[in-house]
Amino acid sequence: SKTTPKRKETAEGDVLGIRISHADRLLFSDPDITKIDLARYYGVIADRMLPFAARHPASILRCPQGPDHQCFYQKHAGEGFPDEIHQVPIEESDGDVANYLYVDDAEGLVAAVQMGTIEFHIWGSTIDRLDAADRLVFDLDPDPSVTFETVKTAAVDLRETLEAIGLKSVAMVSGGKGIHVIVPLSRKAAWEDAKAFAKALSARIADQDPDHYIATMSKAKRKGRIFIDWLRNERGATAVAPYSLRARKGGPVATPVTWEELTGLDAANSFHIPDILGRIEDGNDPWAEAGDWKQSITKAMLKAAGAE
């Protein structure tokens, strides 16, 4: 007689032709996400994610035993890295040259998951033009006592401040506590200008409303305030990539949102893989219109921000 085939206890699986070891390893629970689930997620989200992440030097957050165990950021390609994770030599501030890693396709994302990667963090410039920013990131970091409502208001206010200067922006909930207000730049800005602009504007906002904002890193002075982290806008600095999963409870996703839907959100970590896949299926691309924006940081904008 015919026997029902026994369910295979897969120790290995395959995503886009890449062998995934420990495929059944449970990385997150409620909803459950195994290692191969994560590989498949990045395989599917690649089309949405790569326009932002491809060819940008990356720092990967690896948690080889899972996010409840030791995790570490890695920016240099290590031994045993597969070819799908590419390398680019970059001169560091001390003059030494080191090989940085980057991906340029879905296979690269999946291969990184095979290496234990959960989060992707990216530079604000591409490997063919490392010295110029293709976006600004204002990373709003609230002190724990600040409500998400207040962070949302801060993001909208920042959007308006940028708009008044002549720059359009998009919003991303980080998957953690804060919101990233991102200014896509079609004509890239020298890091010197990108940093000067972000620094001056952040300092001006903190000067004008010191009860709510701070533009210096000091944790002590952050009490009850939002730190406008402009330090993402430096050569070599990273920010979490749009659509990256976060190695935090429940596996939230750093999610691009429209300004309209932001107003209705309860938290920065409310989107998970099924939500993101649903948005893709619905053809919902919150940042679609930003693809047509042509903007750059002009001398007049630097002056308007107070950077002269």
Which residues in this chain contact ligand ATP in the complex, by CB under 6 A?
59, 73, 121, 139, 141, 174, 176-178, 229, 238-240, 268
**Lateral strand order in the sheet of 226-229:** 213-214, 226-229, 132-142, 179-190, 170-173, 255-257
Query: Given the complex with ligand ATP, which of 25 and 75 has the nearer CB atom?
Result: 75
Query: Given the complex with Mn ion, which of 196 and 228 has the nearer CB atom?
Result: 228
Q: Residue 238 CB, nearest distance to ligand ATP (Å)? A: 4
Tell me: does residue 141 bind Mn ion (CB under 5 A).
yes
Segment 149-188, which members bind Mn ion (CB under 5 A)? 178
Residue 181 and residue 155: Cα distance in Å, rounded?
6
Identify which range of 20-28, 125-133, 140-148, 193-201 contacts Mn ion by CB under 5 A.
140-148
Tell me: does residue 124 bind Mn ion (CB under 5 A).
no
Q: Residue 219 CB, nearest distance to ligand ATP (Å)? A: 11
Q: Which residues are within 8 A (CB) of 262 and not within 5 positions of it... i.e. 6 or more apart?
A: 152, 155, 156, 171, 173, 179
Residue 114 and residue 290: Cα distance in Å, rounded?
32
Select the residue whose beta carbon is closest to Mn ion and give its number.
229
Query: Given the complex with ligand ATP, which of 27 and 61 has the nearer CB atom?
Result: 61
For 245, the 3-state DSSP assignment is strand
Identify which range of 103-111, 143-151, 208-216, 228-236 contacts Mn ion by CB under 5 A.
228-236
Tell me: does residue 193 bind Mn ion (CB under 5 A).
no
Identify which range of 107-115, 120-128, 132-140, 296-304 contacts Mn ion by CB under 5 A.
132-140
Residue 240 touches which of ligand ATP, Mn ion, none (CB < 5 to 8 A by kind)? ligand ATP
Residue 161 and residue 205: Cα distance in Å, rounded?
9
Structure tokens at 180: 């990233």
For residues 24-60, one letter each, b for 16 or more C-beta atoms within 10 angstroms of the residue's C-beta and e for the rest, the string is ebebbeeeebbbbbbbbbbbbbbebbbebbbbbbbbb
Query: Given the complex with ligand ATP, which of 111 and 122 has the nearer CB atom?
Result: 122
Q: Residue 177 CB, nearest distance to ligand ATP (Å)? A: 4
* Three-state secondary structure string covering 147-204: CHHHHHHHHHHHHHHHHHHCCCCEEEECCCCCEEEEEEEEEEEEHHHHHHHHHHHHHH
Residue ranges binding Mn ion (CB under 5 A):
139, 141, 178, 229
